[in-house]
């Protein structure tokens, strides 16, 4: 997946349900890319009807990096 930074409307730290599992999941209104654990960053977009969740062992670090890139854009 690839999304322009300008399309991001916001991001927040979330916790995926255990049933989401690992890997790529397509659920109503959400896309989950989970590589580690249950912690994730959920990204909303201006022009898309769905959100993307990226599961990671360092959700806080990913959120900080995303916020920094958005601030510099």
Looking at per-residue pLDDT, the higher value among 26 and 19 belongs to: 26
pLDDT of residue 1: 74
Determine which of 8-12, 33-37, 64-68 has the lowest per-residue pLDDT on average: 33-37
List, in sequence order, the alpha helices (H) in the chain. Answer: 59-72
**Angle in degrees, CA 66, 64, 46, rounded to 5:** 35
Residue 13 has pLDDT above 90, yes or no: yes
**Where residue 67 falls among pLDDT bands split at 50, 70, 90?**
very high
Question: Which two structure tokens, joined as six digits, stand for 33?
Answer: 């890319």
Q: What is the rounded distance in angstroms from the CA atom of residue 72 to the CA atom of residue 40? A: 23
pTM: 0.88
Q: What is the rounded distance in angstroms from the CA atom of residue 72 to the CA atom of residue 52? A: 21
């Amino acid at each position: 997946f690839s999304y322009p930074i300008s399309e991001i409307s916001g991001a927040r730290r979330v916790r995926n349900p255990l049933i989401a599992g690992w890997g790529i999941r397509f659920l109503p209104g959400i896309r989950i890319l989970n590589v580690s654990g249950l912690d994730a960053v959920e990204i909303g977009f201006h022009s898309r009807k769905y959100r993307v969740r990226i599961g990671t062992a360092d959700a806080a670090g990913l959120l900080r990096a995303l916020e920094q890139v958005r601030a510099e854009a």
